[in-house]
Structure 1
Amino acid sequence: MSLIRRNYGIFSSILLRSLSPYTTYMRRTICFLAVCLLLCGRLAAQVTLEGSILDANNGDPLIGASVLVKNTTTGTVTDLDGNWELTVSGLPAILQFSYLGYAPTEVEVTDADQELTIRLGDDAVTTEVVEVRGRRISEKQQQAALTVETLDAIAIKETAAANFYDGLGSLKDVDLTAASLGFKIVNTRGFNSTNPVRSLQIIDGVDNQSPGLNFSLGNFLGASELDVNRVNLVVGASSAFYGPNAFNGVIAIETKDPFLQQGLSAQIKVAERNLIEGGVRWAQAINNEEGQPWFAYKLNLFGFRADDWVADNYDAVYDSPASADNPGGYDAVNVYGDEYASALDFQRSSIPGIGIVHRRGYKEIDLVDYDSENLKAGAAFHFRLNPRKTLESSELILASNYSTGTTVYQGDNRFSLRGIQFFQHRIELRNRDDFFIRAYVTHEDAGESYDPYFTALRLQNRAAPLEQWQSPYINYWQGSVQSRFTGRDDYPRSIDYIGDPDGLRSARNQFFSQEEIQQILVEGHDEAQAFANTGDPFFNTQDFYEPGSERFEQAFDDITGRLPTDGGTRFFDKSALYHAHGEKQWQSVLPESSQNELSLTVGANGRRYTPNSRGSILLDTMGRKITNWEVGAYGGGTFTLNSRYRLSASLRADKNENFDLLFSPAASAVYTPNERTTFRLSFSSAIRNPTLADQYLFYNVGRAILIGNLGGFNDLVTIESLREAINAQNLDLLERFDVAPIRPERVRTLETGVRTTLFEKLYVDATYYYSFYNDFIGFNLGADASFDPTTNLPSRIQAYRVSANATDQVTTQGFSIGSNLYFANYFVLNGNYSFNRLNTASDDPIIPAFNTPEHKYNIGVSGRNVPLKLGAAVEDFGFNVTYKWIDGFLFEGSPQFTGFIESYGMLDAQVNVEIKPIHTIIKIGASNLLDNRVFQVYGGPRIGRLAYISATYNWQKR
């Protein structure tokens, strides 16, 4: 009736103005007749239907379930009691009923008085993307041109992993690696990295990257599990859809709507490694005088603490000059300060037997805080500007989130993030499937975070700089050790090999390979190491700072409490990013009479970075302020022909302050011969702007300066040729090179796939892709050196690691397939397989490592709502058992963290029961149930079993 009154008012005003030449009587008479005809026509054509949607298992009302008139955009959703009301243009009409996690159904309505209490079957029983009967993706997602993996609220409940973020690892195409208990990395389709700059993570459309690091710290600044509605993982290049940095994929987290999901939720979880985790969520909607919800809010609080996994890999670093049995020591993976130094390589010197020396370093466990903690708090306030329209109303949202904690992050080095804080605030005006205008700001504070590797070097340098430390070592060797073997009768002497240097070298190698001599060398190096680590006024050195001693703690606190510009290793980072984004959609451009559909979307965004590191990381020294902005605009459309053919195209343009305008086109074709099968073919593209570090980094780690590259560098010397020139004292051996200014990297991807249901029980989703990458961002190693013209020896050497682009193009390809087999009403067997390969072999050192297993698979079985005969309190239970296998691969990070990851398998399992009288789900499970200790990233810890038990309380307010 409100629609009739509204149309009546508009019609009347137009009609009265048009009849101005007529008499008042005639105007009133004609107006009255016209309005009567209009009302009669309206009332004859329109029919108001009403009903309710219930859970078929327990009769509970389904809040926010969808009701849609088939082949139209007319629809509504259920209220807090599961009731709905909808006005249709006439009868008969076909209504479509759907709800997340339930089997959709259609009902033909022929009579206005027809009973319309709809019971949806809750038969979606897997953590995968789609079910056979209860398909947990919409028709729109089923026909999406890109590969989309989904973890929804039901899958989160059923995942065997310790939390929902870890549960993403069971999806196909997904590589999930753990650098620590608090820092997990999600990546797809290769070029995995422990600083995941090639993946974009958004929460309700908000980028949750660190403003200073320019990538997401997993779910550290993220959503509480109690507030997560679903996670959509868009696989592959997606800049045309999501903007810059959606290079290899997008993790889109959607939280719960306080209008639709009200009430109190709480969770407590305890696990091995002294893990304790808890969260609480409260949401409530408030009605206006007419009984319509106009305001809703939600409050979230989450806390976590655990003893982190310890990085204790003491194997020799991959491809190190000295092996683990070298008498003079070696470079261990998780020991810092023991790295190879040319100043300690005496293989070509005249000092017999000394070989390569490695200085005693510090184990990571002595330098890192392994008490992993995370606290998250959030609040959101939603205002419906026209409450009568319910979900179709425009909505104003004010939201704020805070996160803090301690964890270990792995990039080029391992970093201890201690007391780091994030503040994120958002304001948004939106109308679902129509438009949104969103603005947000993210601030961070690095707290007391520091670099453990650099801390080890500072501690060593405080005791004795390398040049001063080597002097007592050499003196002790020459005075007390070398005579133990040079004085032996069987020691090969030069006088016996006059004119035969090769013979002398061979004889000495054979001599030193003897087990007895090797033992002498080991004992001698141990003594020389101890002597050099004992302070001596003559050499101006101090004692080694022994871990655990009060002297060590004082030096450690002093070093980690200072900024690098003041001789310390603490980070100062109070960077921020400001972002604004607007989008407008037209769902149906063509007339309603048309059998085809055309939808259009346009949008634009702008972002500004304001980094502030006080020179501890970036070039913002001496009062210099750095800012960086980028803007983008995009547009696209989708044309649907006869509900079977869907053609889409879009184009995005992005401009960064320091780089040229770049375009990201995308196009796709989707063919749906029937409701069970979809074929798709797409072309997508992406760009990645250089991070703030790529542009402005200035980080002196003692032996080298890591530096950004906006202007380019000339006349650097390669490290290899520098060593050769110094050893031979021949400057003609020097090789020089230039580095061009940094620029964005690009990728183009062709993809094809099919989704189908076979035999009404088996769902299959298969994808093949081929990608072309250009201008990869990495770094070049080089040195700026000056030489004495008389001796040809260096008078000054400064090593640099310069951000740079690769010159070679590389291609990758991959295939994945996932399937779900539904059986016996309550169970599903699911599995997926992924294949990824780097096609192009290149010697370009800048091309980042692929870091991805060529083969991997997941296979599992799960059940949900399985009846139990345990009384009325416990009516059913669920379970999930998943096995994951990862093929071995070479993980290439920094020189310290490059090595082979062995093949491994992990078994995750969980069982859960719902105790309905107290609205509580008890869940017992374990990730890596068999405690197979594995490395997921080289340089990181061995990941073992994490057994847990949790209780989740969920009371829905109606």
Structure 2
Amino acid sequence: MKYLSKSLMLSIILIFSCSGIIHAQTTIRGEIRDATNKEGLANATVIIKGTTEGTVADLEGKFELSTAQKFPFTLLVSYVGYTDKELIVTAANQKILIELSEDAVTIDQVEVKGRRISEKKVQSPLTMETLDAIAITETPAANFYDGLGSLKEVDLTAASLGFKIINTRGFNSTSPVRSLQIIDGVDNQSPGLNFSLGNFLGASELDVNSVTLIVGASSAFYGPNAFNGVVSMQTKSPFLHKGLKVMLKGGERNLFEAGIRWADAFKNKAGKEAVAYKFNISGFKANDWIADNYDQVYDTPSSVNNPGGFDAVNIYGDEYLVYNDLSNTFSLPGLGIIHRQGYRERDVVDYDSENLKVAGALHFRLNPAKDYNSPELVLGSNYSTGTTVYQGDNRYSLRGIQFFQHKVELKQADKYFLRFYVTHEDAGNSYDPYFTSLLLQQNAKDDVKWASDYINFWQTTINPRVRRIEGYPNPIDYIGRPAEFQAAQGLFLANPRVQDSLQVYHSLAQVQVAKGNPLFESVDFFEPGTERFKQEFNDIISRLGYSEGGTRFFDRSALYHAHGEYMFNDLVKPDQGSSITDLDIQVGANYRLYTPNSKGSILLDTGDLNINTYEYGIYGGGTLELDKRLKISGSVRLDKNKNFNYLVSPAASLVYTPNRDQVLRFSFSSAIRNPTLADQYLFYNVGRAILIGNLNGFSDLLTIESLRTYLTTRNRNDLEYFDVAPIRPEKVRTLEAGYRNTFFDKLYVDATYYYSFYQDFIGYNIGVDAAFETLTGSPTRVQAYRVAANAVDQVTTQGFSIGSSYYFGQNYVLNGNYSFNQLNSISNDPIIPAFNTPKHKYNIGISGRDLAVNFLGLKFPDFGFNVNYKWIDGFIFEGSPQFTGIIPSYNMLDAQINWQVKTINTTFKLGASNLLNNMTFQTYGGPRIGRLAYLSMVYDWNKK
């Protein structure tokens, strides 16, 4: 509470220290559009004629400019490739809507008059990357979400064709609980999983206006779980983007994608637009990438040459088990370590990836006379369903999963908003393929019986054959010298000729032991592709886990969220001569309720147990501008979760702009991550162990190593017990410095360095709950648990990134970025989550737009292209024990060409992700990702 009081006091002092200064400046607001298609012109330059005062329009073409100039004055508006325009401003409340026409004159060289980078990005105290509407259209990737992977500091990981993960600054995970993804301010996470499934529950590409990626710790700005970054999508307003937009896309892997967007507005009796609506529907279907990595699982005892088999990455049920390790049993030469056959992922997973999104919204302007400055009421609903493969601790087949999201929002641009939304999900027929594979094997023959049969067959049938192989050491020759006999036996078994024989013998044993035995109520191995297999497989995946003994999930969880914010803009407008030019303050609060419902198939919500969880937070902050060069910002956020104490997330920054082109920034930011519902309430049996949440702590677990020792020695003193403290939230604090500059009005450079301090990482401990007979000491109960837990050690990370854009000619841009990330602290704490991040990565790209192409003497205008090369340094990806291994270095080339046929309002695009078809792993345990070539057509008719 002492720390809380100090943080609150510092924020209050910062926010209100200058509240008594006299008001004297005027703020004007307006919008800049393309005169033809009515699209907002992001980054258009606005200057007060005859002065150096000006600004740059944001991603929607809107701008805001504070000035002490007396009315009337003239605005000079310019945009590269468009004719400049002037407008006389006579009053502060004047409606300013400026439409620019394309410049019909083509010149060989052009001087870039304005920075093509938004003012919001340049002035941001945090690292910020953006894709505006033009960049979304021109991305060479197969879709805009994949296009985020070319941005600075971004790690885009593909676990499947339908499931992509965005992460920044390390500690990457295929369950991206440390990143927040919002669409128009609405969190689009799965209520049960507590993270976003990529763009599965997201916005149609036709409706996305811009994507902003805020890199690093951001809880003070965006609330809990904005731990490593925020992906913020803004959709198109039906007031500003009216008309019909249709997309068709086809490509490799039987890719087919289609979408349609329609928006319109109605005017009132005064001729002002008062009501607008939009409707979106989009669908995607393709053959997913197949996870067929049959290499040995990283750091397991059995190699791929082990005659008794090995644990392959994408074969489930063949894992190494201690009681199947008979390598030291010298009475059974050649038996060694034995593995069950298992099932390939492709035998138990649905690879028909598909996704359907439907969305609609009604927008009401409550004061139409103010146009876009009017208060606005928005009613919106979204629906999403589909099938894909998700990778977490295991690989999971999400089949027919559904999401329903509804929103009510009252807002006024740059003033306030009051937002309510709810998200419901239904897991459909989703199931766990890994556990399904285990049950298929267990239902044919349990592990103990299988091992017993294998050993008996080896002893009675194979043993005599091994001993008859020429060169087998004669035991009589080593009487009294057992160690020498064992060494000689080992050399004999290692002989390649003998290894070939052992391969044959083990293959014979696998076939024999897979057969059923009526005496023990076992059946033959369920062979994939047979009717027996299909019937057993469908029976297992149709029954719920835990209560019904199957592997299907039941998840009808929901989250309810309320959020309000008010912005006090332009509180300080001093007289001429004062160094203080502006003061803005914003305050807000939010409340969220989770209502899990898994019927015990995932969480501890069996019977009448209520595990509903709420959290709330309040925040405030302000920005003080001095002499139009120095911005001082500060904010603080206070959060409370039902099951955890109050937590504070402070932030502060300095942004210094010595001139029009240079920006220096320094910031301190922080973030918290509340434990997910799984961290708190998980109860999930995966066959080998029970995964369990840890809200109340766990006592008297045995270490696995000590239990193994005890089973050999039967000495109780060898048993080591440990306790696990109750789970608590994660925390991070980050110091960051950055430099941005525009050189020669053509080259934009943005460099960043950060240093982060992490504590209380959430991971897990593995232990055994066991009981023993008093007399014999034999175990009577052995149950393995994986318990959610916090790390004890603190770790630090640091990184550096630089990105640049060079604008040359009239229509070309050369882009490049480089990122360096490093885990500084070397910890032996097994709970520390894996860094899972390449140390080095870079992108290089070139693009052009509005190009004229000569073909057979004919001139075709309005061509464009974009090429991007990406290189990723190799790294170790640590997931679950099954999915931990090395991701080799890889590179990918994405490219596209497009042709805009304005006479029919249509753009054609031909492109390919991973054009050179470099088959690459992006996550260990996932599929190799190859080329995805596509051809798309977008019809865009803008209603006047």
Q: Please give the alpha-carbon distance, in whole angstroms, between the structure 2 residues aligned to 1:362 and 1:946.
A: 28
Q: Which one of the candidate residues 656, 664, 674 is aligned to 1:679? A: 664
**TM-score of the aligned structures, taking structure 1 as reference length:** 0.90
Structure 1 residue identity aligned to 2:308: G
Aligned pair partner of 1:622 in 607, 616, 631: 607
Kindly report which structure 2 residues correspond to 1:94-113, keeping only aligned pairs within 5 A, or say none: 94-95=74-75, 97=77
Letter in 2 for 1:957: K
Mean Cα deviation higher: 535-544 or 760-769: 535-544
Counterpart-to-counterpart distance in 1, 2:704 and 2:664? 52
Whether 1:700 and 2:648 are equivalent positions in the alignment is: no
Which of 362, 371, 374 is the aligned partner of 2:355? 374
Residue 681 of structure 1: SS of its match in structure 2? strand
Equivalent in 527, 536, 550 of residue 555 of structure 1: 536
The match for 1:309 is 289
- How big is each residue's C-alpha offset from its partner over 1:646-667, in whole Å with a ceiling of 9 and x where there is no partner? 0000000100000010000000
**Partners of 1:369 and 1:692 in 2: CA distance:** 27
The aligned runs of 1:589-628 (5 Å cut-off) are 589-591=571-573, 593=575, 595-628=580-613
Hey, what does 2:786 align to over in structure 1?
Answer: 801
Are residues 1:500 and 2:481 paired?
yes
How far residue 502 of structure 1 moved from its aligned partner, in angstroms, is 2.8
- 1:577 is matched with 559
In 2, Cα distance between the equivalents of 1:411 and 1:51? Answer: 47
CA distance in 2: counterparts of 1:118 and 1:542, whole angstroms: 76
Shift in Å at residue 793 of structure 1? Answer: 2.9
Instruction: Give the equivalent residue in structure 2 for 1:906.
Output: 892
Q: CA deviation digits over 1:594-653, x for unaligned, max 9?
A: 652110010000000000000000001123232000000000000000100000000001
Q: 1:67 to 1:317 in 2, by over 3 A?
A: closer
Of the candidates 623, 629, 637, which is equivalent to residue 652 of structure 1? 637
Cα distance in 1 for partners of 2:31, 2:491 equals 89
Cα deviations across residues 362-395 of structure 1 (Å, max 9, x unaligned)?
A: 0000000000000000001000000000111100
After superposition, what is the alpha-carbon deviation per residue over 1:375-433, rounded to whole angstroms, capped at 9, x for unaligned?
Answer: 00000100000000011110000000000000000000000000000000000000111
2:266 aligned with 1:281, yes or no? Answer: no
CA shift for structure 1 position 504 = 2.3
Amino acid corresponding to residue 393 of structure 2 in structure 1: D
- Tell me the distance in 2 between the aligned counterparts of 1:255 and 1:239: 23
Task: Give the drift of 1:118.
Answer: 6.8
Counterpart check, 1:146 vs 2:126 = yes
CA distance in 1, matches of 2:349, 2:103: 48
Instruction: Report which of the two structures shows the higher radius of gyration computed on alpha carbons.
Output: 1
Distance 1:674 1:414 in 2: 53
Q: CA deviation at 1:490?
A: 3.2
Find the residue that maps to 1:584 and give its secondary structure: strand
Q: Aligned partners of 1:710 and 1:612: how far apart in 2?
A: 18
CA separation of 1:77 and 1:218: change in aligned 2, threshold 3 A: closer
Amino acid of the residue matched to residue 73 of structure 2? A
Give the SS at the match of 1:566: coil
Distance 1:110 1:262, change over 3 A: closer
Match of 1:388 in 2: 369
Fraction of identical pairs, as percent: 62
Give CA deviations for 1:327-386 in whole Å, capped at 9, x if unaligned. 000000000000111121112334332111100100000000000000000001000000
Structure-2 residue corresponding to 1:820: 805
Structure 1 position 60, deviation (Å): 6.2
| Secondary structure of residue in 1 paired with 2:903 | helix
Q: Is 2:937 the counterpart of 1:951?
A: yes
Tell me the equivalent position of 2:763.
Answer: 778
Matched, 1:413 2:364: no
Paired AA for residue 392 in structure 2: G
Distance of aligned partners of 1:619 and 1:111 in 2 relative to their CA distance in 1, 3 Å threshold: closer
Residue aligned with 2:258, SS: strand
Name the CA distance, whole Å, in 2 between partners of 1:196 and 1:544. 37
TM-score after normalising by structure 2: 0.91
Give the C-alpha shift of residue 701 in structure 1.
1.1
Alpha-carbon separation, structure 2, partners of 1:146 and 1:103: 31
Match of 2:511, SS state, is helix
Q: For residue 198 of structure 1, what is the aligned residue in structure 2?
A: 178
**Partner residue of 2:568 out of 578, 586, 605:** 586
CA distance in 2, matches of 1:117, 1:292: 17
What SS does the corresponding residue of 1:214 show, helix, strand or coil? coil
- Residue matched to 1:738: 723
Say whether residues 1:293 and 2:273 are aligned partners: yes
Q: Whole-Å Cα distance in 1 between the matches of residues 408 and 677 of structure 2?
A: 26
Residue type matched to 2:915 in 1? L
Q: C-alpha displacement at 1:829, in angstroms?
A: 1.0
The whole-number CA distance in structure 2 between the counterparts of 1:110 and 1:209 is 45
SS in 2 for 1:226: helix
**Do residues 460 (structure 1) and 441 (structure 2) align?**
yes
Mean CA deviation greater in 273-282 or 616-625: 616-625
Give 3-state SS (helix, strand or coil) of 2:458's partner: helix
Q: Is the 8 A contact 1:287 1:293 kept in 2?
A: yes
Distance change (3 Å), C-alpha of 1:67 and 1:841 = closer
Q: Deviations over 1:777-797 (max 9, x none)?
A: 000000011223433332211
- Between 1 and 2, higher relative CO (CA 8 Å, sep ≥ 6) is seen in 2
Map 1:141-220 → 2, pairs under 5 A = 141-220=121-200
1:15 counterpart residue number? none
Q: Distance in 2 between matches of 1:373 and 1:926?
A: 20
SS at match of 2:508: helix
Give distance in 2, aligned partners of 1:643 and 1:718.
62
Aligned residue in 2 for 1:713: 698
* Compared CA separation, residues 539 and 511, structure 1 to 2 (3 A): farther
Question: Alignment partner of 1:538: what SS?
Answer: helix
The root-mean-square deviation of aligned C-alpha atoms, in Å, is 3.1
Cα distance in 1 between the residues matched to 2:343 and 2:386: 25
Report the 3-state secondary structure (helix = DSSP H, G, I; strand = E; otherwise coil) of the residue aligned with 1:815: strand
> What's the secondary structure of 2:936's corresponding residue?
strand
In the alignment, is the contact (CA less than 8 A) between 2:702 and 2:722 conserved in 1? Answer: yes
Aligned mates of 1:575, 1:527 — CA distance in 2: 49
Cα displacement (A) at 1:516: 2.2
- 2:37 touches 2:942 (CA, 8 Å); kept in 1? no
- What is the CA distance between 1:523 and its match in structure 2? 1.5
> What secondary structure sits across from 1:618 in the alignment?
coil
1:233 is matched with 213
Give how far 1:913 is off: 0.6
**Residue type of the alignment partner of 2:443:** R
Paired amino acid for 1:353: G
- Paired with 1:133 and 1:552, the residues of 2 have a C-alpha distance of 68
Further displaced range: 585-594 or 912-921: 585-594
**Residues 156 and 730 (structure 1 numbering): CA distance in 2 closer, same or farther, change over 3 Å?**
same
Where 1:924 maps in the other structure, the secondary structure is: strand
Name the structure 2 match of 1:528. Answer: 509
Aligned mates of 1:206, 1:504 — CA distance in 2? 70
- Deviations along 1:302-350, one digit per CA (max 9) or x if unpaired, are 0010000000000010001101110000000000000111121112334
> Deviation at 1:98?
7.1
Query: For 2:657, what is the secondary structure of its paired residue?
Result: strand
Q: CA deviation at 1:592?
A: 5.3
Output the CA distance in 2 between the equivalents of 1:502 and 1:910: 67
Check whether the contact 1:61–1:81 (CA below 8 A) recurs between aligned residues. Answer: no
Deviations 1:488-511 (Å, cap 9, x if unpaired)?
A: 463235443344343222111101
2:550 to 568, 577, 590: 568
Of 186, 201, 205, which aligns to 1:221? 201
Structure 1: which 5+ residue stretches go unaligned?
1-45, 124-130
Q: Is the 8 A contact 2:624 2:631 kept in 1?
A: yes
Number of aligned residue pairs: give it: 900
Q: Distance in 2 between matches of 1:420 and 1:109?
A: 55
Q: Distance in 2 between matches of 1:648 and 1:641?
A: 11
Name the stretch that deviates more: 595-604 or 886-895.
595-604
> Alpha carbons of 1:701 and 1:90: their partners in 2 closer, same or farther (altered >3 Å)?
same
Distance 1:88 1:775, change over 3 A: closer
Deviation for aligned residue 1:106: 8.9
Q: Aligned equivalents of 2:505 and 2:488: distance in 1?
A: 21
* 1:468-501 CA distance string (max 9 Å, x none): 2222211111111011122446323544334434
C-alpha distance in 1, partners of 2:909/2:115?
24
From the superposition, tell whether residues 791 and 136 of structure 1 become closer, same or farther in structure 2 (CA, over 3 Å): farther
Shift of 1:532: 1.2
